[in-house]
Structure 1
Amino acid sequence: MLSQLIAHYGYFALFVGTLVEGETVLILAGFSAHRGWLDFPLVVAVAAAGGSLGDILAYTLGRWQGERLLARFPSLAARRGQVDTLLARFSAPIIVGIRFMYGLRVAGPVLLGVARLPAATFVGWNLAGALVWACVFGTLGYLFGEAALLLLGRIAHLEGLLFALLAVLALPLLVWLRRRAHRAAAQGTR
């Protein structure tokens, strides 16, 4: 039953989940690919598309409403100097790395839009970064699936419960990480 649900809705959930901060969803999809419920190359393609589209939307929002966003969200404004410094030091290739930097995964594309980085430059490097990101986190999920099977051995009757438990445990971790980022950003604006 669980495998049928994942096979039927998994790619859609992956796409939606990767629009904004989708590492956990992508790792779960990689695990699902290992179990044979999803196709790994398609997991990478869908995650790269979702992650890339989410960043393009954030970049566009930054170009269109950047100054208003900075005025409304001090935590975003606090990261502006960090992104400007990275952009000045590494130029456009930093777009690939920003999605791996804690605290800049969502803020980075917005701030690159505020910085008026040319759209074609952003889109090209963003697509490359999304593909690398999807490969890395999808592979981590796939390898986690391999390790889990080796550790769990012959308790296949519990795999649905374990998959659900993993998904439930990931949610508090995401909430904690988000709160921690907000607290750090709030302390940086004082």
Structure 2
Amino acid sequence: MLPITDFLSCTDPLDEFDSLSYHQTRHAKTYVTGLAAARSRTVTGIAREVLPAGSDRTLNKFPTEYDWDEDQLNHERLEELQKHGETRWSQDGYIVIDDSVFQRTGKELPGAGKFYDHTEGEPVWGQDLVYSFYTDDKTSYPLVFRQYKKADDEDQDDADETKYDLSREMVTELEEEVGVPADGTV
């Protein structure tokens, strides 16, 4: 396969985001290009196939070491989606909230614990994400997510929040800060 020598045009809006520095923008564009077009979607594979990436070590610093505001980046992403008719939300759309358990093996992962996995029919060791996405008759895309942390985990500051609390928090954020049309009921 020939190497990818430039970023995909779908990454152009990232140039206008205030939440990312110049270098962070280049890394974000590299990731998006690699996830969409590279054969190997690992950090090493993206760095190897997307030539503007530089080294895999440098590319890996973007999600692991750089200081950036994920919430602001997500808000800017959602604002960009509202500029286009096919992704603009409408009063006929829905905010869907669900959760998924992702099985893990590491005992030191943040928020990891025993969670009931409906697909397995039993508790598994993993991480539980509560997420929301928008859908209507023309489009669907993710909005926000929160990691659910078990109440019995002493290391977690917000471990007393339930999944319902996280859901309400997400709907409030989406309604008040982002402007998603929602009635605030969960």
User: Given the two structures, how large is their TM-score scaled by the length of structure 1?
Assistant: 0.24
More strand by share: 2
Structure number with higher helix proportion: 1
Greater relative contact order (Cα 8 A, min sep 6): structure 1 or 2? 1
